[in-house]
Structure 1
């Protein structure tokens, strides 16, 4: 039996006056609201991050195995129920992909979670765009703030470059042929990623590095990520997320 526990369930479909209505299951909150509900100075906890990451990667792997790109993975689109199950939601930008790679639109994925190949004007991309988004979400859970919080496309690009270094043909073949790549870009050197996520353990940093590889072809796949050392300890055995110091689940969280 297929396990669809990490997807928001479609309850029913209705039609009225030539309009189509989709009714989805209700979930208590999303990952963004959950992180905001935790008091300042209190982290999510390494075990809870691992639990959410496992579910996120597992859900994404299923999408990719069925040739679907989500294209808008971000904390607001990851819903959480009272049992601490994380579910992928909002497939409004999702697309099927095939071989050869199709040309897609440029304006996809919320800016902070947008892969560099899209930021640099690439029209052909694949599952790597979702993996990059997952890496950004991973770092955000660890730090309680976005890793690359740009306020424009060029600012977003430069924020990435300042941490990961300015890409070149040696580390990302054909990057200079992307429409929005400029040879005049400042030349930043790569920093030690551990400095950007100081509380993350070495296995977690290694997984994050593989998710944030510039060359999409070299980026780790969701399927391979599930086998990574970071997930060796079963995250389903970690404490219930309701034990975290967060807003009570019975409280009003939506306005």
Structure 2
């Protein structure tokens, strides 16, 4: 016989130390080995007992991250290029657990396996098919007012039969402010109601949510009730949203790696300075600049912007597409300052002539670089690629966010709609599983999650610090 339910005055039961101890979950799912781990979530491979369906069980230790992921996946549940959430478990005294479809590999592994020493590259038709699937997933996000904020190859999961799906929405934000309306006004093709996934938020009341005692049955959760619970989660959380977002703890259904072979130092023979102002202001509004993994982070984020929209995802797309072409990262920065420097070495300095809005970036006047006299240009970064291939990256890797092509625009781009056409999904070469670091080459591979050190200066050695009228200046040799 089950014990009586505790009264409202009773203290909450102690938190379980492991997902394996939670009977409401283990009664429905066999939990196997852990396949992914981050600072604030763990992912386990599992099987649904009722029909032997493989699943991934994501135990999220951060309440706000969990609420964001559930909220986003409910809104995107009918999108074929977004990971499916079968069910979720959430109650006050335990970590949230999301039951997701299990996908055995990711785009980072696809890129790694295609390198010359392994697979000999990706054909144009393969690259186009990967692009189409990524763009379809991102377009679904943006049509539902969702900014993913952490797009990278290891968060693009791939099924055994080649279907790519966006995953890890723990940093996602659903935009409901006027700024998002401006994004749609600037890109009128997004108002095409004949296009797939029109802007909407339609949570599925059939996705079961479990919580409370272990005798509680599945219950439907409509939009109003879910949003009420989401507000309650946010209200109960004692840690500020800004504090949470400055931590890099995301993990997808896989723990993945990518190469970080660095080219020659782009700063050789140059210098740049960072000037910190005294005092401070409340620069953290509803958003924070500390989102996204550094290699895929838009320049406005590196300059501290908190007023941004889907355009930051578009910059990340450009970096991902360049990696599909080159099979190596476009801007593998070792710190935020190094990241900006690598971007400048390719695109040139960010100035108000190029993007007048840069003057409003919080850190624009605090971080200064020496003038880049001869920027490389994206053409040199994409050797042996066709003009159309280079142009599709240029439409995304540009300073002015409003100039970046939308996902829908790119889906109609001539590059993706002319010979050679995207190959069928069934013809994509998919690694059998996530490929780990080569044992014989320590240091050759780097996890995308490990590139977000809080110290921007640790890799530069000696620096010169001088006092200025506004604080101090740091100049790197």
| Aligned counterpart for 1:8 among listed residues 74, 83, 87 | 83
- Quick check: 2:162–2:425 contact (8 Å CA) kept in 1? no
- Quick check: 1:140–1:147 contact (8 Å CA) kept in 2? yes
Which residue does the alignment assign to 2:69? none
Alignment of 1:27 with 2:103, yes or no, is: yes
Q: Which runs of 5+ in 2 are unaligned?
A: 1-76, 180-284, 438-477
- Quick check: 1:120–1:180 contact (8 Å CA) kept in 2? yes
Residues in 2 aligned to 1:22 and 1:237: alpha-carbon distance in whole angstroms: 31
Larger radius of gyration: 2
1:113-153 residue CA offsets vs partner (Å, 9 max, x unmatched): 00000001111001110000010001111111100000000
Which residue does the alignment assign to 1:219? 404
Which residue does the alignment assign to 1:191? 376
1:156-213 residue CA offsets vs partner (Å, 9 max, x unmatched): 0000000011111111113133222247422224433221111322112111101011
1:83-137 residue CA offsets vs partner (Å, 9 max, x unmatched): 2111100000000113333741111000000000000111100111000001000
Structure holding more helix per residue: 1
The one of the two structures with greater contact order (alpha-carbon pairs below 8 A, sep at least 6) is 1
Which residue does the alignment assign to 1:140? 323
- Quick check: 1:121–1:180 contact (8 Å CA) kept in 2? yes
Q: Give how far 1:252 is off.
A: 7.1
What SS does the corresponding residue of 1:21 show, helix, strand or coil?
strand
Which residue does the alignment assign to 1:204? 389
RMSD: 2.2
What SS does the corresponding residue of 2:369 show, helix, strand or coil?
coil
Cα pair distance change 1:46/1:8, threshold 3 Å = same
Which residue does the alignment assign to 2:152? 74
TM-score, structure 1 normalization: 0.89
Compare 180-189 and 30-39 and name the one that shifted more: 180-189
What SS does the corresponding residue of 1:235 show, helix, strand or coil?
coil
- Quick check: 1:167–1:214 contact (8 Å CA) kept in 2? yes
Structure holding more strand per residue: 2
Q: Give how far 1:15 is off.
A: 4.7
Aligned length: 249
What SS does the corresponding residue of 1:79 show, helix, strand or coil?
strand
